[in-house]
């Protein structure tokens, strides 16, 4: 809107504010507040509104104070005009007005004014009315946040400590709350000097103050360490009645105090057993509340059960799932059921879990099947019954039930070796139905581990090998290990199979983890077969009973934070609370050396029972990509890396040609583009008993050409396409667009774009504050997305964002985050948090941001790859109205990492052959046909992954291609 449209209402309001009629003046202030609330700037009326402070009308005074709190920071000089009125109001006969004045004083965060407010605050802290005193106590904490030194110099902290002895319980509660908040910002100060006399006063006030006052006092009590077990018991006895309070927050705060002080009570004390019994009913009662409160209660109960399972050991039934429970409540109940499972109740638990496994909710069914496996591992006496239950579930032939059952049976084999292997035949019958990576990997592990018991183990593993490159990384790694195990057990029958898998892993794969493991196995088998057996067929450690228990020291800290966000997140406050305030790490007092402490989980168990994975399982390329992409600096030398002088010659021989052969570097300057010959697994070298000698072929001396860094193939000089890795000059940066409008984000507007500089994707944003309040504490988080985009660091906005102010921020992104296919493929869901709220929006990034700098394929590799891609994976379309010649087009495209590999001219038409590589390792090949004098180009795109559609985003209206070419490949 224009100034002409804005000025009349302001002048109109100004006239009404200066009216002699009280009612008209009050209505005018209401209109001002209404305008301020919707985000309009009415700061020009500051003097006129301040003049309205001189009134006896409490409603009008509240409105004026509200206006002052909002605009005082932006109008500090004007705000001083209100000081005299504050001082006067602090001596008003009406205690409500005195309290209102002192509350507003604390909310006006202007340094110039604070020193004038010290005297009125001192009077209010000693006011005869308790309502004024309790309000003044909170004001001290707010003033300390603005100017800590001033509060200390004026002696307000000592006055606050005196208020703990106040006769009014609410004054005591507010004084405790204020001192606790101040102590949080000064962790080493001894502001809350808790002693038995102070504790007695707090416990006395506890019975009479409001529910929130009780929470403040209970939280303060939780920070106290009793002198002995008698004092601990005395405090517990006086806190126990709070367990029957109607407010769930009071109940949880009381539980926190009791859980902490129980540690100091002797376990053989009668009162200890009584206290355990008293803790169960209030926790059970919390589960009758609405689902959201149930979830918070369950997360806290999860911690309590890990620390003291005996509290709820007889209450298993309350955690049985109801048909109308939300999924988040169901999953949490399931987790607690497993923690409480014991020999006494296992039959009941298994019957429930088997029932859950027939539900319609897929996620819940998966978790229930996994829970049966966890029961088998936790309660040994129930293992046979659990395995029987799992076999019954496999017979249902429900795909996802079968797959989860196979995953947990693999863990049962690990826990109880040579006991339940008779079920392997049943598992093998369901081999063809497995389509989830984790289930396929589990089945492959079983086949490899028990190959000597399975007659056709080689055929089963060979069936997986047929689609090796289409499998996920998890399956590929497991398949590689399983076939090597099979070879070590049946060497004469599986030489071709092991040769095939090692060749696939080391020569045809671009996954560094897979390549490395393949080379390690290769070297072991070719140099020391005995060592290979000892390594690959080593005895597996038994998996632990509980692999998802919280680490004991963290659990102690979380118990001290029961009833807070930390107990819901299961993370310490320091993990998610931002800001300059120090976060004090809390510990439970008492003797933790008794047999009651929770055992540390066995972190060494590689195949322990873990939480259910996300529903979407990334493919190999999505999950890891090619680690070579991380090296964005051009090499400084062309020769092989120098060999350490300390390296023994034996180590060099073991590598069959030195380190340079392993990474594909040659001493001579020429490059060999032929594929390496497969290693020779000579049957004659396999001795009696299957022992292998040195005839086991060494790995190829030259890596496949596709693994090498991009090199010149003679075209660089011709088309000037050379240059090191990094963004060429002239790369197109899309203009910023509005991602989050102010009207949808309470005044915060975010516009932005994506750019790629020096190999790093950056999210460049402009944040504008169109609200009337200051914005701070910014943070950003991305949802899972198609290419694993995630923030590589925090959102760096170090200064508060004032009203009508804009700030620019550049956020570097990585591509190693969690992956999930989005629609459209380049969609990115973002959450931005500040001190006001959390806001969500979606934006779309140009796919060209994902084209990496090493996307230039070698010419021979390009030719072979082009021929290998079937015609079904080819898409053709026209680019219209572009007047660049082929050389100019090639240079433009190179600025977006679309590299020209070769060029030929046929009948006056230039044909450019180009390659590009995405961050997830997927290659896309292109042919661009440019006819002299014809502004329309023809483009053909090919990829080994099927391209189902291609969209050209026109970033410039008239000549988009001349500026940039962005291809979005929807790849299945």
Instruction: For residue 819, list its beta bridge partners.
Output: 785
Closest CA to 773 of 8, 69, 11, 1: 69
Number of Cβ within a 10 Å radius of residue 687 = 12
Provide the phi-psi class of 127: left if phi over 0, else alpha when psi is between -120 and 50, else beta. beta
In whole angstroms, give the CA distance from residue 250 to residue 216.
9
Please give the span between the terminal C-alpha atoms of the chain, in angstroms, as a whole number: 48
Give exposure, 61-79, as e/b (b: 16+ Cβ within 10 Å).
bbbbbbbbbbbbbbbeebb
Copy the structure tokens of residue 720: 């000037």
- How many of the other CB atoms lie within 10 Å of CB of 957? 6
DSSP string, 261-311: HGGGS-TT-HHHHHHHHHHHHHHHHHTTS-HHHHHHHHHHHHHHHHH-GGG
State residue 585's pLDDT score: 60
Q: Check if the beta carbon of residue 218 is closer than 8 Å to that of residue 256.
A: yes
Backbone angles phi, psi at 732, to 5 degrees: -80, 130
Among 227-231, 287-291, 644-648, 856-860, the minimum mean pLDDT is found in 644-648
**Beta-strand pair 923-931/827-833:** unpaired
pLDDT band at 596 (very low <50, low <70, confident <90, very high): very low
Q: From the CB of residue 837, how many other CB atoms can be counted at a distance below 10 Å? A: 10
The mean pLDDT value for 618-646 works out to 34
**C-alpha span between 427 and 236 (Å, rounded):** 55
Does the pLDDT at position 283 exceed 70?
A: yes
Q: Write out the DSSP string of 156-193.
A: HHHHHHHHTT-SSHHHHHHHHHHHHHHHHHSTT---S-
The first and second tokens of residue 742, run together, are: 């102010």
Q: 767: Cβ–Cβ under 8 A, 6 or more apart, which residues? A: 748, 749, 750, 778, 797, 801, 806, 807, 808, 809
Q: What is the pLDDT of residue 26?
A: 81
Q: Give the sheet arrangement for strand 827-833, strand by strand.
A: 779-782, 827-833, 838-844
pLDDT at residue 909 tops 50: yes
Q: How confident is the model at residue 527 (pLDDT cuts 50, 70, 90)?
A: confident
Residue 920 has pLDDT above 80, yes or no: yes
- Whether the model pTM is above 0.75: no
pLDDT tens digits, residue range 485-508?
999 988 888 888 888 889 888 887
Specify the higher pLDDT residue, 54 or 297: 297
Rounded to 5°, the CA angle 321-323-324 comes to: 105
Tally of CA atoms within 13 A in the half-sphere of 670 that contains its CB:
3
Q: What band does 33 get if pLDDT is binned at 50, 70 and 90?
A: confident
pLDDT score, position 297? 93
Residue 200 — very low, low, confident or very high, per pLDDT cuts 50/70/90?
A: confident
Contacts 24+ apart (CB under 8 A), 450-456: 450/413, 450/421, 450/424, 451/482, 451/485, 451/486, 451/489, 451/490, 452/489, 452/490, 453/421, 453/424, 454/424, 454/428
Q: Which residue has the higher pLDDT, 473 or 634?
A: 473
Residues 261-277: tens digit of each pLDDT: 888 888 888 888 888 88
Mean pLDDT of the residues in the chain:
77
More confident residue, 675 or 499: 499
The secondary structure element, H or E, covering residue 820 is none
CB-CB neighbours of 41 under 10 Å: 16
User: What is the Cα gyration radius of the chain?
Assistant: 35
Q: What residues form DSSP beta bridges with 828?
A: 843
pLDDT band at 731 (very low <50, low <70, confident <90, very high): low
Is the C-alpha dihedral spanning 543, 548, 553, 559 positive or negative?
Answer: negative
pLDDT digits (tens, 9 = 90+) for 847-906: 888 888 888 888 888 888 888 888 777 888 788 888 788 888 888 888 888 999 988 888
Residue in 814, 827, 826, 816 with CA at minimum distance from that of residue 760? 814
Residue 648 token pair: 């023994």
Residue/partner pairs of 358-366 with CB below 8 Å, 24 or more apart: 358/396, 361/327, 361/330, 362/400, 363/327, 363/331, 363/612, 363/615, 364/321, 364/327, 364/330, 364/331, 364/334, 365/400, 365/401, 365/404, 366/400, 366/404, 366/612
Roughly what angle, to the nearest 10 degrees, separates helices 130-146 and 156-163? 140
Is residue 356 within 8 A of residue 388, CB to CB? The reply is no
Judging by DSSP bridges, how do beta strands 937-942 and 923-931 pair with one another? antiparallel
Place of tokens 């000037």: 720
Rounded to the nearest 5 degrees, what angle is found at the Cα of 431, between the Cα atoms of 428 and 435?
150
What pLDDT shows up at residue 293? 92
Does a cis peptide bond (omega within 30 degrees of 0) precede residue 218?
no
Rounded-to-integer distance, Cα 563 and Cα 211, Å: 14
Digit-coded pLDDT (tens) for 151-180: 888 888 888 888 888 888 899 999 988 888
Worst-scoring range by mean pLDDT, 74-78, 121-125, 536-540, 768-772? 74-78
- pLDDT at position 221 over 60: yes
**77-101 mean pLDDT:** 81
Reported confidence tier of residue 907, pLDDT bands at 50, 70, 90: confident
Cα angle 11, 17, 21; round to 5:
130
Quick one: pLDDT at residue 294? Answer: 92
Band (pLDDT 50/70/90 cuts) for residue 740 is very high
What is the pLDDT confidence band of residue 946, given thresholds at 50, 70 and 90? Answer: low
282 — pLDDT class (breaks 50, 70, 90): very high
Written as six digits, the tokens of 451 are: 């190959």
d(CA 470, CA 168): 72
Mean pLDDT over 445-465 rounds to 85
How many CA atoms lie within 13 Å of 420's alpha carbon, on the beta-carbon side? 25
d(CA 519, CA 505): 8
> Is 908 exposed, middle or buried, given 0-12, 13-18 or 19+ CB atoms closer than 10 A?
exposed
Measured N-to-C along each axis, helices 95-107 and 130-146 cross at an angle, to the nearest 10 degrees, of 10
Q: What is the pLDDT of residue 292?
A: 92
């Amino acid at each position: 809107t224009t100034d002409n449209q804005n000025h009349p209402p302001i002048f109109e309001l100004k006239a009404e504010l200066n009216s002699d009629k009280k009612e008209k003046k009050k209505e005018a202030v209401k209109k001002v507040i209404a305008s301020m609330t919707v985000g309009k700037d009415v700061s020009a009326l500051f003097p006129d509104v301040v003049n309205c402070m001189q009134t006896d009308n409490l409603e009008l005074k509240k409105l004026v104070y509200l206006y002052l709190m909002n605009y005082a920071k932006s109008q500090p000089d004007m705000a001083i005009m209100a000081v005299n009125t504050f001082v006067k109001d602090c001596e008003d006969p009406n205690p409500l007005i005195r309290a209102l004045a002192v509350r507003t004083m604390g909310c006006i965060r202007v340094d110039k004014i604070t020193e004038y407010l010290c005297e009125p605050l001192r009077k209010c802290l000693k006011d005869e009315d308790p309502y004024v005193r309790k309000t003044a106590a909170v004001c001290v904490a707010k003033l300390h946040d603005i100017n800590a030194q001033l509060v200390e110099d004026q002696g307000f902290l000592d006055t606050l400590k005196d208020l703990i002895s106040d006769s009014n319980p609410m004054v005591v509660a507010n004084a405790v709350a204020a001192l606790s908040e101040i102590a949080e910002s000064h962790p080493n100060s001894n502001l809350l000097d808790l002693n038995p006399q102070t504790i007695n006063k707090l416990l006395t006030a506890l019975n009479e103050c409001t529910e929130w006052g009780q929470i403040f006092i209970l939280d303060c009590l939780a920070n106290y360490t009793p002198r002995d077990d008698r004092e601990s018991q005395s405090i517990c006895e006086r806190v126990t009645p709070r367990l029957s309070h109607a407010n769930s927050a009071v109940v949880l705060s009381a539980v926190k105090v009791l859980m902490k002080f129980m540690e100091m009570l002797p376990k053989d004390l009668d009162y200890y057993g009584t206290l355990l019994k008293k803790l169960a009913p209030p926790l059970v009662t919390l589960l009758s509340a609405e689902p959201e409160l149930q979830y918070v209660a369950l997360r806290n109960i999860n911690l309590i059960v890990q620390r003291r399972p005996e509290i709820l050991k007889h209450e298993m039934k309350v955690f049985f799932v109801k048909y109308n429970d939300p999924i988040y409540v169901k999953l949490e109940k399931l987790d607690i059921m497993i923690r409480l499972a014991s020999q006494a109740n296992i039959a009941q638990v298994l019957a429930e879990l088997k029932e859950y496994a027939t539900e319609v909710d897929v996620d819940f069914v998966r978790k229930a099947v996994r829970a049966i496996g966890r029961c088998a591992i936790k309660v040994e006496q129930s293992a046979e019954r659990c395995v029987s239950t799992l076999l019954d579930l496999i017979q249902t032939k429900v795909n996802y039930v079968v797959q989860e059952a196979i995953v947990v049976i693999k863990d049962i084999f690990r826990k109880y070796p040579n006991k339940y292997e008779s079920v392997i035949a049943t598992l093998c019958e369901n081999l063809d139905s497995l389509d989830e990576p984790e289930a396929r990997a589990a089945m492959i592990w079983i086949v490899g581990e028990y190959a000597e018991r399975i007659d056709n183990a080689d055929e089963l593993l060979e069936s997986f090998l047929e689609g090796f490159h289409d499998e996920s990384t998890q399956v590929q790694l497991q398949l590689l290990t399983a076939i090597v195990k099979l070879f070590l057990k049946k060497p004469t029958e599986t030489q071709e199979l092991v040769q095939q898998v090692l060749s696939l892993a080391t020569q045809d794969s671009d996954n560094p983890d897979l390549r490395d493991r393949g080379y390690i196995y290769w070297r072991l088998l070719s140099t020391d077969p005995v060592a290979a057996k000892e390594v690959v067929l080593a005895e597996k450690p038994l998996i632990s009973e509980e692999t998802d228990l919280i680490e004991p020291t963290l659990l102690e800290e979380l118990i001290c934070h029961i009833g807070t966000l930390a107990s819901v997140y299961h993370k310490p406050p320091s993990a998610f609370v931002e800001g300059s305030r120090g976060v004090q790490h809390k510990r439970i007092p008492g003797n933790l050396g008794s047999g009651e402490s929770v055992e540390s989980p066995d972190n060494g168990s590689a195949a322990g029972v873990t939480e259910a994975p996300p529903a979407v399982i990334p493919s190999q390329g999505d999950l890891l990509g090619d680690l070579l992409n991380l090296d964005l600096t051009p090499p400084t030398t062309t020769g092989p890396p120098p060999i350490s002088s300390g390296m023994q010659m034996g180590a060099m021989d073991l590598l069959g040609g030195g380190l340079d052969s392993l990474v594909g570097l040659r001493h001579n300057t020429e490059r060999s583009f032929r594929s390496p010959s497969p290693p020779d697994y000579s049957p004659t070298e396999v001795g009696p008993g299957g022992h292998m000698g040195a005839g086991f072929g060494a790995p190829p001396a030259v890596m496949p050409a596709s693994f090498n860094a991009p090199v010149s193939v003679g075209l660089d000089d011709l088309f000037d396409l050379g240059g090191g890795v990094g963004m060429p000059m002239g790369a197109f940066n899309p203009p910023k667009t509005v991602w989050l409008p102010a009207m949808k984000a309470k005044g915060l507007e975010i516009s932005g774009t994506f750019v790629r500089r020096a190999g790093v994707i950056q999210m460049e944003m402009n944040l504008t504050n169109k609200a009337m309040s200051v914005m701070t504490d910014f943070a950003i988080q991305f949802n899972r997305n198609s290419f694993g985009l995630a923030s590589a660091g925090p959102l760096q906005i170090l200064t508060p964002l004032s009203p009508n102010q804009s700030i620019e921020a550049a956020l570097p992104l990585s591509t190693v985050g969690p992956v999930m296919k989005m629609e459209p493929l380049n969609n990115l869901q973002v959450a931005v948090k500040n001190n006001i709220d959390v806001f969500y929006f979606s934006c779309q990034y140009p796919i060209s941001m994902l084209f990496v700098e090493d996307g230039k394929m070698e010419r021979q590799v390009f030719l072979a790859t082009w021929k290998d891609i079937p015609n079904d994976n080819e898409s053709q379309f026209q680019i219209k109205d572009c007047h660049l010649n082929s050389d100019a087009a090639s240079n433009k495209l190179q600025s977006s990492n679309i590299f020209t590999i070769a060029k030929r001219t046929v009948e006056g038409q230039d044909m450019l052959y180009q390659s590009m590589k995405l961050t997830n390792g997927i290659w896309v090949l292109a042919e661009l046909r440019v006819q002299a004098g014809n502004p329309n180009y023809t483009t053909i795109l090919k990829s080994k992954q099927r391209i189902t559609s291609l969209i050209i985003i026109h970033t410039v209206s008239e000549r988009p291609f001349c500026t940039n070419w962005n291809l979005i490949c929807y790849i299945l």
